[in-house]
Amino acid sequence: MNNLDLASMLCSRLCHDMLSPVGALSNGLELLAEEQDPEMRGRIVELLEQSAKTSADKLKFFRLAFGAAGGFGEAIPVHEARALIDALVGNNGRIEARWALATDVLPKPAIKTLLNLALIGIEALVRGGTLDIGAEMQGTTTEIAIRAAGPRIAFDPLVGKALDGSLASSDLSSKTAPSVMIRQLAESLGGTVQVALGSDALVLGAVLPGR
């Protein structure tokens, strides 16, 4: 797939995900300028604080999940990724994240993969549920496993095709672009990405050899 098209779709995805919290900030500021009642102004300020936090959490997440993540070395502490994912889960309010991390640091490609697969898991849990996240190093190879379980799993088949490498170029979109990126990243390392969908769980995994 054309790298320019992929980059454009990733930018579109970022804009789409940021539109809601940033729009809420804008609307809240307009209301605050018009509202005179002290109690109502206090409630509006609380909503502004919540929208600002959500916006900051998402920007931090996408900076590391999609971007070059300047300031980080080739090995990144896993608590950085955990904090980003926990923030998204906390903003959702209906998902419980459970962690099983057997290492303190992971290579940057593994962190990017972990974040993106976790995001797919979060989005699949439209009615809430549990998100199990595991990662470990076997020598220089990173193994990642994500399991999203809940009463209803919403998983776009095109995202599955993007992960397994069978997505047609015409189906590249802002929704499938992150999965295409992760697939290409894994292949560039000689690794693999796996996906399995059941009636009540979505399992995602990756094996990424070291460079």
**CATH number of the domain within which 40 lies:** 3.30.565.10
pTM of this structure: 0.89
Angle 131-100-78 (CA atoms, 0-180°, nearest 5)?
95
Report the domain count for the chain. Answer: 1
Domain that holds residue 50: 3-208
Question: What is the DSSP annotation of 76-93?
Answer: EEHHHHHHHHHHHHHHH-
pLDDT by residue, tens only, the chain of 211 residues:
678 889 899 999 988 888 888 888 888 888 888 888 888 888 888 888 888 888 888 899 999 998 865 555 588 999 999 999 999 898 777 899 999 999 999 999 999 999 999 999 999 999 999 999 999 999 999 999 999 999 889 999 999 999 999 999 999 999 999 999 999 999 999 999 999 998 889 999 999 998 6
Q: How many CA atoms lie within 13 A of 8 on its CB side?
A: 7
Q: What is the pLDDT of residue 29?
A: 87
Under a CB-based contact definition with an 8 Å cutoff, are residues 178 and 13 in contact?
A: yes
Under a CB-based contact definition with an 8 Å cutoff, are residues 184 and 3 in contact?
A: no
Cα–Cα distances (Å) from 19 to 45, 77, 86, 103, in that order, read 19, 29, 21, 35
Question: What is the DSSP annotation of 137-165?
Answer: EETTEEEEEEEEE-S-----HHHHHHHHT
